[in-house]
Amino acid sequence: MRVRLADIASRAKVSEATVSRVLNNKPGVSEANRKAILRTMEMLGYERPERMRRRNTGLVGLIVPELTNPIFPLIAQVIETALADKGFTSVLCTQTPGGVHEDEYVRMLLERNVSGIIFVSGIHANTDTDPSRYTALRARGLPIVLINGYLPEVDAPFLSTDDAAGMDLAVRHLAGLGHTRIGLTTGPDRYVPVQRKVAGFQAAYRRHVDAAATPERLDELVATTVFTVEGGEEGTDLLLDRGVTAVVCGSDVMAFGAIRAARRRGLQLPADLSIVGSDGIPLAEFSEPALTTVRSPAEDIAEAAARALLDEIAGNPAPRAEYMFRPELVVRSSTSAPRGGARAPRPTGATVVAVS
């Protein structure tokens, strides 16, 4: 399709001269304007001129969980964009229950001579996993980066959300509203992020609610199910039967299940039950009520993962460590003081939360 400069310039809010410079690979255009023009061309269905198409310097494998949780498509998109900017093409491999196993994807990627692999919430997050599948990749010199999980035996950079800090934000917020019966529902406890969430939640409960809470009491306040709407509904039912007035969920998708469980019981939200999600997916803002959530810095993690892999490929490896990214609390209308309860004083040392 023939490119009409006026159409592109109008949509991208730049001059036709700026569009012309981008199309002809001329200097003097800011990176922001260049990207805006290229995005506009794609939206309008125009193909980039041949001289603007970068030759791919290699393939990179990107293995992610099933895409039903919107946080994973977001991470994948950011990584793909960052790699494409450096001339690499991502080969997206999506794991689904009963589908292709991670090890099979790795074999396929190795056959295609990929330059590296990024694993997102993969088998490395499972505490039962055999780390040799990853140490073998490193032994053959393949650069890898792993997100949301940790295996100290593996010589590679790891990047994770600080789940313990996220639980502290959630519990401190609910305690500040006056809740003393707070529960956590999250995924299977064999996963590193889940174990960190549970430990962080229980430590935060002792810190902000009841310093004398027994291990038995703390265990009673945790329901581990699966990271789905149905899992959130099941876990919330268990916690409601145990008398909680607030529930922290291991994901926003689980929080949608918590809302469903509360409505099925005829509870008023948030007067009868306050709900806090995790991840901070865009859909959380549009639930009813709008969901208070612990927002993961997913885009920052994805960009850092892409940079780390590119550094590995270039022979400039990052220090071998786990890089923790602190989340933030986004307060919306799914949390309030419990019915008939007075708002407690704000705990000392509380961090500033994002409010929308």
CATH number of the structural domain spanning residue 46 = 1.10.260.40
Considering the domain architecture, whether residues 309 and 260 belong to the same structural domain is answered as no
What are the tens digits of pLDDT across the range 44-75? Answer: 777 666 555 443 458 999 999 887 889 999 99
Please indicate, yes or no, whether residues 24 and 168 belong to a single structural domain of this protein. Answer: no
Query: Tokens representing 141?
Result: 């010199």
Tokens for 225?
């199910």
Distance CA 306, CA 120 (A): 12
Whether residues 30 and 82 fall in one domain: no
Q: Rounded to an integer, what distance in angstroms lies between the CA atom of residue 202 and that of residue 296?
A: 20
The predicted structure's pLDDT at residue 57:
53
pLDDT digits (tens, 9 = 90+) for 64-122: 988 788 999 999 999 999 999 888 999 999 987 778 899 999 999 999 889 999 999 99
Distance from C-alpha of 161 to C-alpha of 150, rounded to nearest angstrom = 11
**What local confidence, expressed as pLDDT, does residue 148 receive?**
94
Confidence at residue 56, expressed as pLDDT on a 0 to 100 scale: 41
Phi, psi of 34 (to 5 degrees): -60, -45
Same domain, 308 and 270: no
Residue 341 shares a structural domain with residue 194: yes
Residue ending a domain, among 52, 70, 85, is 52
Asked if the peptide bond before residue 70 counts as cis, ω within 30 degrees of 0, the response is: no
- Gap between the Cα atoms of 120 and 327, Å rounded: 18
The pairing of strands 274-279 and 292-295 is parallel
Confidence of residue 346 (pLDDT cuts 50, 70, 90): very low
Residues 112 and 135 grouped into a single domain: yes
Q: Do 156 and 175 belong together in one domain? A: no
Residue 231 has what pLDDT? 97
The CATH number covering residue 167 comes to 3.40.50.2300
Residue-range definition of the domain harbouring residue 270: 163-296+328-355
pLDDT grade for 24, boundaries at 50, 70 and 90:
confident
How many CA atoms lie within 13 Å of 338's alpha carbon, on the beta-carbon side?
A: 15
3-state secondary structure the chain: CCCCHHHHHHHHCCCHHHHHHHHCCCCCCCHHHHHHHHHHHHHCCCCCCHHHCCCCCEEEEEEECCCCCCHHHHHHHHHHHHHHCCCEEEEEEECCCCCCCHHHHHHHHHHCCCCEEEEECCHHHECCCCCHHHHHHHHCCCCEEEECCCCCCCCCCEEEECHHHHHHHHHHHHHHCCCCCEEEEECCCCEHHHHHHHHHHHHHHHHHCCCCCCHHHHHHCEEECCCCHHHHHHHHHHHHHCCCCEEEECCHHHHHHHHHHHHHCCCCCCCCCEEEEEECCHHHHHCCCCCEEEECCHHHHHHHHHHHHHHHHCCCCCCCCEEEECCEEEECCCCCCCCCCCCCCCCCCCCCCEEC
Q: Report the pLDDT value the prediction gives residue 34, as an integer from 0 to 100.
A: 82
Domains: count for the chain: 3
In this structure, are 202 and 347 located in the same domain? Answer: yes
For residues 198 and 316, membership in a common domain is answered with: no
* Residues 125/195, Cβ–Cβ less than 8 Å: no
pLDDT digits (tens, 9 = 90+) for 212-265: 999 999 999 999 999 999 999 999 999 999 999 999 999 999 999 999 999 999
Q: At CA 34, angle to CA 28 and CA 35, rounded to 5? A: 160
What's the pTM? Answer: 0.79
Asked whether residue 247 falls in the same domain as residue 342, the answer is yes
- Which has the higher per-residue pLDDT, 68 or 345? 68
Rounded CA-CA distance 21/14 in Å is 11
Judge if 168 and 292 occupy the same domain: yes
**27 cis-preceded (ω within 30 degrees of 0):** no
Q: Is residue 227 domain-shared with residue 332, that is, in the same domain? A: yes
